[in-house]
Amino acid sequence: MSFVFSPSPTVSIPVLGSPARYPVHRIYCVGRNYEEHAKEMGFTGREPPFFFLKPADAIVVVEAGHTGSMPYPSQTKNLHHEIELVVAIGKGGKNIQAADALNHIYGYAVGLDMTRRDLQNDMKKQGRPWCIGKAFDHSAPIGPITPAAQAGDVMNAEIYVQVNGQDRQRSNVSKLIWNVAETIEHLSAAWELQPGDLIYTGTPEGVAAVVSGDTLVGSVAGLGELRIRVA
Ligand code: MN
């Protein structure tokens, strides 16, 4: 087959302990999935899960032990960090039941759902899509994927992000409103999941702005650290 121009390269993420990489298909994100974060955004914390997407090439891969870099994006004066547990799907399916959901998971990673909060808020006010606030270039930094068998007790893991060495967000994955299995059940009722799909599962309270020159260090216990500088 020939193409009228070269196709985009496959976005992929390193896998700890493996020479093979994880090819990314789609990036799904869960909105307002920790109660204290929902409250800080002006909501009650009690609502069905809802989803948005980022393009696969919004990924910024940060290799283990490295400090990644993302450019400060255009058109915003309020770039927020959202530290999140990321689920990497290994086996696709639709209408996956929560009881069977963990069998569809390849592994886990630490991710940042970077957000142009001012633009997102403008869109919310007008009832317009969040894409410009959420799905911009370089908006999805992520560390290596840890295969599920080596990831420890991710569902009860501490999650945090520090900016320039100061705590910004610190919570526990056990505080998810919709846990990972329930999230997969809801998501796969709306889309057929595919191997390579990533799910950013939501962020705890403490979202705030970063500026050029800031260094973010985020972690989910058992999955290592994600370290990235805003250029
Ligand atoms: Mn988020």
Q: What is the pLDDT of residues 169-203, one digit of tens each?
A: 999 999 999 999 999 999 999 999 999 999 999 99
Residue 147 Cα to ligand 1 midpoint, Å, equals 22
Residue 89 counted as domain residue: yes
The number of folded domains in the chain is 1
How far from 154 is each of 174, 176, 182, 214, 220, CA to CA, in Å? 9, 12, 15, 28, 8
Q: How confident is the model at residue 44 (pLDDT cuts 50, 70, 90)?
A: confident
Residue 57 Cα to ligand 1 midpoint, Å, equals 17
In terms of Cα–Cα distance, which of 196, 200, 205, 195 is closest to 31?
200
Q: How confident is the model at residue 46 (pLDDT cuts 50, 70, 90)?
A: confident
Distance between CA atoms of residues 113 and 111, nearest Å: 7
Residue 135 counted as domain residue: yes
Residue 1 counted as domain residue: no
Residue 78 Cα to ligand 1 midpoint, Å, equals 15
Residue 213 counted as domain residue: yes
Q: How confident is the model at residue 47 (pLDDT cuts 50, 70, 90)?
A: confident
Question: Taking all residues of the chain, what is their mean pLDDT, rounded to a whole number?
Answer: 97
Amino acid at 224: G
Domain that holds residue 131: 12-230
Residue 168 sits in a domain whose CATH number is 3.90.850.10
- 28 pairs with which residues across the strands? 53, 199
Residue 125 Cα to ligand 1 midpoint, Å, equals 18
Residue 203 Cα to ligand 1 midpoint, Å, equals 5
Distance between CA atoms of residues 157 and 151, nearest Å: 10
Residues with Cβ within 5 Å of ion ligand 1? 82, 113, 203
In this predicted structure, the answer to whether residue 99 has a pLDDT above a threshold of 80 is: yes
Residue 2 Cα to ligand 1 midpoint, Å, equals 38
Distance between CA atoms of residues 120 and 130, nearest Å: 5
**pLDDT value of residue 134:** 98
